[in-house]
Amino acid sequence: MTRLRVAILISGSGSNMVKLVQSMTGDHRGRAVLVISDVANAPGLGRAEELSIPTHFIEGCEKFDSALDTALNEARVDIVCLAGFMRILSPEFVMNWAGKMLNIHPSLLPKYRGLHTHKRALDAGDSQHGCSVHAVTAALDSGPILGQSTLDVAPDDTPHSLASRVQKLEHVLYPAVLKRFSCGDTSLLTLS
């Protein structure tokens, strides 16, 4: 079986990164080869090192996308997973990696692209909320949806409690979508 080399981009704790790395064993075609952050002291970098995954920090400058492209190419990366990566990538970079880049987003896309998704869902009175994995395109959180997982919004939910509950869904959905994607399956996966 040909193994696919996976890079994971993070900006924070790396909880989704950890779940992705832990899932890439056995018959999974992907193997994590690099974790990159745009935040020098992101806790996820230490977590990646504990998992024996090479790490790289790229300073958030105007040449960020070029430095990122170089790092990914030097590591011979096949798939890029954005996992709590909070930087918007340039259209040129996205075009170069089209069809090879995934993102996890904490809403049921196309609802609530961008930030503050849990508060927005509560403010709208939504009865269901969840997360989506999508292919990355130049338009923010607008690429083809490859997976979604839903939960019922509780009457006493707050943005914080909802975020915590949705993150548990993310930890299951993202690895499942990545495994299918690494085998060429881009059909929609729905979990609840």
The whole-number mean pLDDT for each consecutive block of 10 residues of the chain, a chain of 192 residues, reads: 95 98 97 98 98 96 94 98 96 97 98 98 98 97 98 98 98 98 98 90
Whether pTM > 0.85 for this model: the answer is: yes
| 138 occurs within a structural domain | no
Axis crossing angle, helix 15-23 with helix 43-50, rounded to the nearest 10: 20
Structural domain for 122, as ranges:
105-133+145-192
| 140 occurs within a structural domain | no
43 preceded by cis ω (within 30°)? no
- Tell whether 81 and 118 lie within a shared domain: no
Query: Do 191 and 173 meet the contact criterion of CB atoms below 8 Å apart?
Result: yes
- Tell whether 179 and 115 lie within a shared domain: yes
- The dihedral over CA atoms of 47, 77, 109, 113, expressed in degrees to the nearest 10, equals 80
Look at the chain and report how many structural domains it folds into: 2
- Tell whether 34 and 66 lie within a shared domain: yes
- Tell whether 177 and 115 lie within a shared domain: yes
- Tell whether 37 and 127 lie within a shared domain: no
- Tell whether 70 and 129 lie within a shared domain: no
- Tell whether 91 and 124 lie within a shared domain: no
- Tell whether 84 and 123 lie within a shared domain: no
pLDDT for residue 62: 86
| 114 occurs within a structural domain | yes
pLDDT for residue 80: 98
- Tell whether 93 and 115 lie within a shared domain: no
- Tell whether 75 and 56 lie within a shared domain: yes
Token readout for 178 is 């990545």
Q: Which residue pairs, CB below 8 angstroms and at least 24 apart, start in 117-121?
A: 118/159, 118/160, 118/162, 118/163, 118/166, 119/159, 121/153, 121/162
Is residue 134 part of the annotated active site? The answer reads: no
| Amino acid, single-letter form, for residue 88 | I
DSSP-derived pairing of the beta strands 79-82 and 55-57 = unpaired
Active-site residue identified among 28, 56, 105, 118: 105
- Tell whether 86 and 117 lie within a shared domain: no
| 139 occurs within a structural domain | no
pLDDT for residue 60: 83
Helices (H), 101-158: 117-123
pLDDT for residue 93: 97
| 119 occurs within a structural domain | yes
pLDDT for residue 172: 98
pLDDT for residue 192: 84
- Tell whether 56 and 113 lie within a shared domain: no
For residue 122, the domain's CATH number is 3.40.50.170
